[in-house]
């Protein structure tokens, strides 16, 4: 049995160890609760059972549990430069036994573990059964959906760690331009500039699994809103940026019409 109220109280207790006045810590606390909301949205649209919906919410609650310690140790959320936050979250929960603070019943452990470990992968690994894949795709989509809200509400400085003016004076790396143009999820180590990073967040749309997630993006105009936050100064870069915007809009329009 899943007691979400108990799990949420345990999460609130856990985060008291971290200073919520630090912008990056506050960002991840809010993100956790918003990912739960996105997960609930998807579960409702997919007509999942209460048990499955509750399990998806629990996974959403725990998916970034390692982010807080990651930030305190490294002052960075860049996994390729620090630690894989998904694996670290899994280790905290299952190697160190933290999971039992959130749920006593161990029947869901394998699904929770696999979903958390796969939620930030460039591609989902092979070998999972249909049930496990459902929860992997739910958390991957819910996480990506809330990232669009984060990128709109948070200051650029809290996301990219440089000023908006600096980002707008940067170039788009050729490899990133090509990956986005080909409607591919962007491989994080290939990014070289902060505008590359920004485009990689928008490129999350190319990895969304559920049709309902695509509809969510379209209904909330997230592509337009995300592109509007930057305005590259260089004429050539701005032209590239607008081209990528149209590619993203066309992609959402095409997939939502399916």
In order, the DSSP letters of 100-157 are: GGT-S--TTHHHHHHHHHHTT-SSPPS---HHHHHHHHHHHHHHHHHHHHHHHHS-HH
Residues of the chain with pLDDT under 50: none
Q: Please list, in sequence order, all residues whose beta carbon lies within 8 angstroms of the beta carbon of residue 185, skipping any fewer than 6 positions away.
A: 122, 179, 203, 204, 206, 207
In order of start, what are the domains of the chain with their CATH numbers?
1-154 (1.10.3210.10), 161-258 (no CATH)
105 φψ region: left (φ > 0), alpha (ψ -120 to 50), beta (else): beta
Cα(23)–Cα(11) distance, rounded to whole angstroms? 18
Query: pLDDT tens for residues 55-88?
Result: 999 999 999 999 999 999 999 888 888 999 999 9
Cα(43)–Cα(134) distance, rounded to whole angstroms? 10
Q: Where are the alpha helices (DSSP H) in the chain?
A: 4-15, 23-45, 50-62, 67-74, 85-90, 109-118, 130-153, 156-160, 164-168, 174-181, 194-202, 211-219, 222-227, 235-256
Tokens read off for 74: 């490294």
Q: What is the dihedral of CA 162, 30, 65, 80, to 10 degrees?
A: -20
Nearest residue to 61 (alpha-carbon basis) of 129, 111, 12: 12
Give the single-character DSSP code of 162: S
Supply the pLDDT for residue 1.
83
């Amino acid at each position: 049995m899943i007691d979400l109220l108990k799990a949420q109280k345990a999460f609130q207790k856990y985060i008291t160890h971290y200073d919520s006045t630090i912008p990056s810590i506050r960002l991840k606390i809010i993100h956790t609760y918003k990912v739960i909301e996105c997960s609930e949205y998807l579960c409702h649209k997919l007509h999942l059972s209460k048990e499955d919906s509750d399990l998806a919410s629990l996974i959403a609650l725990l998916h970034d549990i390692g982010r807080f310690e990651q930030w305190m140790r490294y002052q960075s959320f860049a996994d390729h430069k620090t630690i894989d936050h998904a694996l670290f979250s899994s280790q905290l929960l299952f190697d160190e036994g933290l999971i039992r603070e959130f749920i006593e019943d161990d029947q869901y452990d394998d699904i929770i573990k696999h979903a958390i470990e796969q939620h930030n992968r460039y591609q989902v690994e092979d070998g999972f059964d249909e049930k496990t894949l459902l929860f992997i795709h739910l958390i991957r989509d819910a996480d990506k959906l809330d990232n669009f809200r984060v990128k709109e509400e948070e200051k650029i400085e809290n996301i990219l760690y440089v000023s908006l003016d600096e980002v707008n004076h940067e170039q788009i790396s050729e490899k990133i331009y090509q990956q986005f143009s080909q409607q591919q999820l962007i491989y994080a180590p290939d990014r070289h500039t902060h505008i590359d990073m920004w485009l990689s967040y928008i490129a999350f749309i190319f990895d969304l699994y559920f049709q309902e997630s695509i509809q969510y993006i379209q209904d909330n105009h997230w592509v337009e809103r995300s592109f509007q936050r930057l305005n590259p100064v260089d004429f050539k870069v701005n032209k590239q940026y607008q081209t990528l915007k149209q590619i993203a809009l066309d992609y959402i329009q095409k997939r939502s019409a399916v």
